[in-house]
Structure 1
Amino acid sequence: MGDTDSQAFKDRTFISSDGLTLHLRDYDPPAEATEDRLPVICLPGLTRNSRDFHALALVLSRDPVAPRRVIALDYRGRGLSDWDENKANYNLAVEARDVIEACAYLNIGRAAFIGTSRGGLILQLLAGINPDLMAAVVLNDIGPVIEAGGLMKIRDDLNAARLPSDMEEAAALLKLRHSAEFPALSVSDWAEMATAIFRDVDGQLVPDVDPAIATQLLSIDFTKPVPDLWAQYESFARLPLMVVRGENSALLSENTLTAMADRHSNLRIVRVPDQGHPPLLHSEPALQGIRTFLTAT
């Protein structure tokens, strides 16, 4: 999550088909690791960025038994990627295209994917658009049905947040806002989360995202059902699939999780106690679940 141990990855950029410079982190395994394993591509949540995956990427790329390359993306408008002047391009279809183009830039023809929240929605589209790219999928606290109450909470949190004066205050504000859902998190967890979310702009800490992305949520009409992605989810049928759910998640319900298992005969499920949306993937039992799941890819 944080930026410690920056020598563990390379910052790379590529130009999207519509001319934006997009950024990603590339975590290579140690030079002495000789076995060729499929890379892991990590896709963050709606307003988040590649820094969310730092701790997980360190573990996976330095695994003493099965190290592998890990790629973590900044979508357009997030992290070190360009903001898009056409705000309508902040949508799942365009972001899915960016993921495909990132893979082409890296000469990756097949990979395991981990998608947190928004990232998992993108993966459901990718499964229908380019299934041959996907060897296995981990969905972090997301499925084909998004609970309206959870989405409203995200909308309100993103559009009403007070800006902190420093990272210490940022961590304190995050804890104040989310500790009821995340009682398991430590002081260092909150501090790492703050480092992943905020950046300094002219002496003021701000979320590291184009504000237009959060503003988009204000236009959602919650008097109508949130569209589901069951048709897209069916494309996972042939793939190894794992879902991580935070015990206190308001976005992915147990009912949806049950329905997902009914439609995928080999779905693996990991429930993370004392965490909400989305659980930290470098914490247990999520981390061990991911490592075990990836050994088959």
Structure 2
Amino acid sequence: MQRFDHDGVEIAYIDEGEGEPILLIHGFGSNHQVNWVGTGWVDLLTRQGRRVIAFDNRGHGNSSKLYDPAAYHPAAMASDAVALLDHLRIGSATVMGYSMGARITAFLALEHPQRVDAVIFGGLGVRLVQGEALPPTIAAAMEAPSLDDVPDPIGRMFRAFADKSGADRRALAACIRGSRVQLNPAEVARILQPTLIAVGTRDPIAGSAQELAAMMPNATVLDIPNRDHNPAVGDKVYKQGVLAFLAEQGV
């Protein structure tokens, strides 16, 4: 992986392929390898003639670990994405985020619209604006003495993954406390870029893709059949739908 410094935060990233750039932003507790390389996304997109940039969010993977929840506001995490585009001298790109990465993508599209050609939200629907996506109990799960001490099923899922991957659980606890920031309907209505919202039909975390799309001027929905939150990431319907969306938008 390559690295660069953004205001004292070291961000690790990959930059592969040639062609129109697409920036990939992974979900909470994951990293670029698990979310995008291991699921075949990087290989698929580079074979389609695209330049693929994927990075580890602050607090994740090989990037800097921070322990103040305020450091994980989605706007701060979106600023890492902008700094990476600056570092690579990329003016604008299509941006695809999954789950927490989709929330970061929304803030990026709102606050830096000139840098975003098109938007793909994976694993996040109406809970961008209402209700909870990832519950705050995940922080307690990260801080529990062991997996056996975590009763909440979603917390157990993320704690088990963190244990398996050797993640910095203290940083992840800070991240979940700082990143759960909602937008309001008026704000998402200002995301004017062509947008694809892709959610598994069995996803209990994302919320309705259709309800979110109804708030946005240029959004379409892709249902990922019979997929829960995590398995939807690498689903072939998701991949085919994204390729069709990119071709249709000419980005």
Gaps of 5+ in 1: 1-10, 30-36, 164-173, 179-193, 200-204
Residue by residue over 1:110-153, the C-alpha shift from the partner in whole angstroms, topping out at 9 and shown as x without a partner, is 10000111111111111221101010010012132354375257
Name the residue aligned to 2:104: 122
Equivalent pair of 1:27/1:58 in contact (CA under 8 Å): no
Cα distance, 1:85 vs. partner? 5.4
The percentage of counterpart residues that share the same residue type is: 25
CA distance in 1: counterparts of 2:244 and 2:133, whole angstroms: 33
Contact 2:60 2:167 in 1 (8 A): yes
| Structure 2 runs not aligned, ≥5 long | 148-152
1:232 aligns with 2:187: yes
Q: Decide whether the 8 Å contact of 2:72 with 2:178 is kept in 1.
A: no
2:16 alignment counterpart: 27
2:228 to 243, 251, 276: 276
Summarize the alignment of residues 1-297 of structure 1 with structure 2, pairs less than 5 Å apart.
11-16=1-6, 18-29=7-18, 37-51=19-33, 52-54=35-37, 55-63=40-48, 67-84=49-66, 86-143=68-125, 144-148=128-132, 151=135, 154-155=138-139, 158=142, 205-214=164-173, 217=176, 227-237=182-192, 239-254=193-208, 257-295=209-247, 296-297=250-251
Are the structure 2 counterparts of residues 21 and 253 from structure 1 closer, same or farther at C-alpha, using a change threshold of 3 Å? closer
Query: TM-score, normalized by length of structure 1?
Result: 0.69
Structure 2 counterpart SS, 1:119: helix
Residues 253 and 112 (structure 1 numbering): CA distance in 2 closer, same or farther, change over 3 Å? same
Aligned-pair CA distance for 1:61? 0.3
Distance change >3 Å, CA 288–CA 162, structure 1 → 2 = farther
**1:17-69, Cα deviation, whole Å (9 max, x unpaired):** x212210111214xxxxxxx421100011222111101101111012xxx101
- Report the TM-score when normalising by structure 2: 0.80
**Number of residues of Structure 1 aligned to a counterpart in Structure 2:** 236
